[in-house]
Chains A and B, each alone.
Chain A
């Protein structure tokens, strides 16, 4: 049964504070096994990324910024326990080290992309909804323009014109992704704007910025953060997909899961492990992200919060 102390405030006035609601959400999430599994996966990946950053030698990755080719044995060789636990891929790169290093790169760039896209989109969405009128119309038409092309194709086009470096790819994806956040933030702001407490605040003389910071922003940011965590899984797929297609220049030694799969593409049939393991790393992360995201969304669904 529910622990009553979570739901009632100290003076038993019947209202709940924000931290109490957050604790309730966390409690509901961690009661569901798939969500816990998802969280564990995400935690594992995050720990690997942090270790890569702090002291890569702990997990046996001597060089986290670049894959190390071995031109003496360029042909992919199958997994051999002590030396190459996952085998090697095309120019003699050890797959285990490459994947461990790539996890951090992927996670880092995906986070960057999602946060940039979310920031741009939220600012545009909130300002459009708050100012309203022709400004709102114009911004929404502008947003719809971006939404008229399938995002992968659009990201390819924007990336093509921006450049082939990994930072250009990230910028391209962020530029294609922000419209979703703009729409979402705008919807949230519109529904909050009509609320009684905003009107009350205005009546007591709170100015524009006050209303935005005290009422709109906190209530918009929570769903936006939920959306961000749901999007991380998708963005990492798109990022890896763009690298797979071959955005980065062909000599790039930056470890990245999509690049690894495309490096091993030629050898997929003769040496399946070169594409199986990087893809598995991607798949497991996507599963973890989606499980946790589903758990989060279900926990926030008002029907589940008795």
Chain B
């Protein structure tokens, strides 16, 4: 079928998945009984008393009705944007407000990591397969293996110990320990409140918008170690899959034909082998996003980097239901969209699967 019909079909298939996601969240909310569900919507700072609020929520969500009916009312509230309240040490207010505040920082971290992983991982994997069993290949495999086995948060702590303190050598103390920016620099800025910056919530952009290049540079410096931590763990998987799929591709008959025809090795690799090797890598991108999103939670906790993962762990530690619900939904949504993107790219590259 044509590409556009495939894309349309794939997008339509995402809708039931999204509803399934809401179903999971609804079930989770009900596991602990109604008190948690009600607690997620109570506004602590409102003038209305808690008992009155609870009665109102009870009425709105029809909590005395059978479960299916409750799901529909809950879903209606959910789709209208009422995702509950969160109150953690980082932020108190509506869940949607928290997501808008914290998502950009996490996206910055994830995008930088994803770019690094793609730029370094894929060419290294290809080169490693081409120079199979050479020293380069062995070295790459060892590094990939290390990245695969190392605990993400331990790597972050290791990087902090080496590069953000004087323990190993005072000459290596290049980067700051944690946080998104040096608090002394933003102390007098009105556009930086509660750990998040004002117009776009993206510290890097806002620093430029508000005309503070020094904050811009400082924010970038604060990004280096978290991005490295996140990248190293995930790059291992990409390296492995690229290498093995490139190897399979190089063993194919059409490669032998290309060589027999007298094409240069460079042409054989670049034009024929690599293109076909990238197909499994695209499907790996879904797995990559899952690992990235999981790693983001750990990395933000280690580096005190104010983002979605950090808010999630604070919600966990404070027993904040709205926060957990919001984080789960956003991460699930991101994952589903990323898989959708990967499937579309896959359909574009490989016409065979567009049945």
Q: Which residue of B lies closest to A287 (CB)?
A: B149
Q: Is the CB of A151 within 8 A of B290?
A: yes
Q: Which residue of A lies closest to B168 (CB)?
A: A272
Return the CB mask of A264-306 against B: 1 if under 8 Å, else 0. 0100110010011001001100110011000000000000000
Q: Is the CB of B153 within 8 A of A241?
A: yes
Q: Give chain A residues whose Cβ lies under 8 Å from the Cβ of B312.
A: 153, 156
Q: Is the CB of B165 within 8 A of A162?
A: no
Complex Cα gap A247–B319 (Å): 11
Secondary structure at the A interface, as helix, strand, loop or mixed, is helix
Complex Cα gap A290–B145 (Å): 8
Q: Give chain B residues whose Cβ lies under 8 Å from the Cβ of A130.
A: none
Q: Give chain A residues whose Cβ lies under 8 Å from the Cβ of B17.
A: 144-145, 148
In chain B between 191 and 227, which residues have their CB closer than 8 angstroms to a CB of chain A?
none
Instruction: Identify the 5 closest CB pairs spanning chains A and B, nearest first.
Output: A152-B294, A279-B154, A286-B149, A149-B332, A150-B290
CB distance from B203 to the nearest CB of A (A): 23
Q: Is the CB of A261 within 8 A of B317?
A: no
- Contact of B20 (CB < 8 Å), options: A148, A151, A158, A265: A148
User: How many A-B contacts at CB < 8 Å in the complex?
Assistant: 131
Instruction: Flag whether A237 is at the interface (Cβ < 8 A).
Output: yes
Instruction: Flag whether B158 is at the interface (Cβ < 8 A).
Output: yes
Q: Give chain B residues whose Cβ lies under 8 Å from the Cβ of A244.
A: 153, 298, 301
Instruction: Flag whether B183 is at the interface (Cβ < 8 A).
Output: no
Complex Cα gap A282–B157 (Å): 14
In chain B between 161 and 199, which residues have their CB closer than 8 angstroms to a CB of chain A?
161, 164-165, 167, 177
Question: Which of A153, A157, A265 gathers most chain B CB within 10 Å?
Answer: A153
CB distance from B10 to the nearest CB of A (A): 14
Q: Is the CB of A149 within 8 A of B331?
A: yes
Q: Give chain B residues whose Cβ lies under 8 Å from the Cβ of A151.
A: 290, 294
Q: Is the CB of B151 within 8 A of A240?
A: yes
Instruction: Flag whether A225 is at the interface (Cβ < 8 A).
Output: no
Instruction: Flag whether B246 is at the interface (Cβ < 8 A).
Output: no
Return the CB mask of A238-257 against B: 1 if under 8 Å, else 0. 00110011110000000000
Q: Is the CB of B32 within 8 A of A161?
A: yes
Complex Cα gap A269–B149 (Å): 23
In chain A between 107 and 144, which residues have their CB closer than 8 angstroms to a CB of chain B?
141, 144
Instruction: Flag whether B152 is at the interface (Cβ < 8 A).
Output: yes
CB distance from B222 to the nearest CB of A (A): 16
Secondary structure at the B interface, as helix, strand, loop or mixed, is helix
Instruction: Flag whether A53 is at the interface (Cβ < 8 A).
Output: no
Q: Which residue of A lies closest to B166 (CB)?
A: A269
- Contact of A241 (CB < 8 Å), options: B298, B324, B328: B298
Complex Cα gap A282–B297 (Å): 19
Q: Give chain A residues whose Cβ lies under 8 Å from the Cβ of B161.
A: 268-269, 272, 275-276
CB distance from B322 to the nearest CB of A (A): 12
Instruction: Flag whether A160 is at the interface (Cβ < 8 A).
Output: yes
CB distance from A179 to the nearest CB of B (A): 12
Complex Cα gap A160–B161 (Å): 31
Instruction: Flag whether B21 is at the interface (Cβ < 8 A).
Output: yes
CB distance from A90 to the nearest CB of B (A): 15
Instruction: Flag whether B11 is at the interface (Cβ < 8 A).
Output: no
Q: Give chain B residues whose Cβ lies under 8 Å from the Cβ of A145.
A: 17, 20-21, 23-24
Q: Give chain B residues whose Cβ lies under 8 Å from the Cβ of A30.
A: none
Q: Is the CB of A261 within 8 A of B154?
A: yes
Q: Give chain B residues whose Cβ lies under 8 Å from the Cβ of A268.
A: 157, 160-161
- Contact of B316 (CB < 8 Å), options: A149, A247, A265, A276: A247
Complex Cα gap A28–B283 (Å): 31
Contact A158 to B316, CB < 8 A, known contacts A148-B21, A150-B293:
no
CB distance from A154 to the nearest CB of B (A): 7
Complex Cα gap A265–B158 (Å): 11
Return the CB mask of B282-305 against A: 1 if under 8 Å, else 0. 000000011101110110011000
Contact A282 to B313, CB < 8 A, known contacts A144-B17, A150-B294, A156-B297:
no
Q: Give chain A residues whose Cβ lies under 8 Å from the Cβ of B29.
A: 161
Complex Cα gap A46–B224 (Å): 38
Instruction: Flag whether B348 is at the interface (Cβ < 8 A).
Output: no
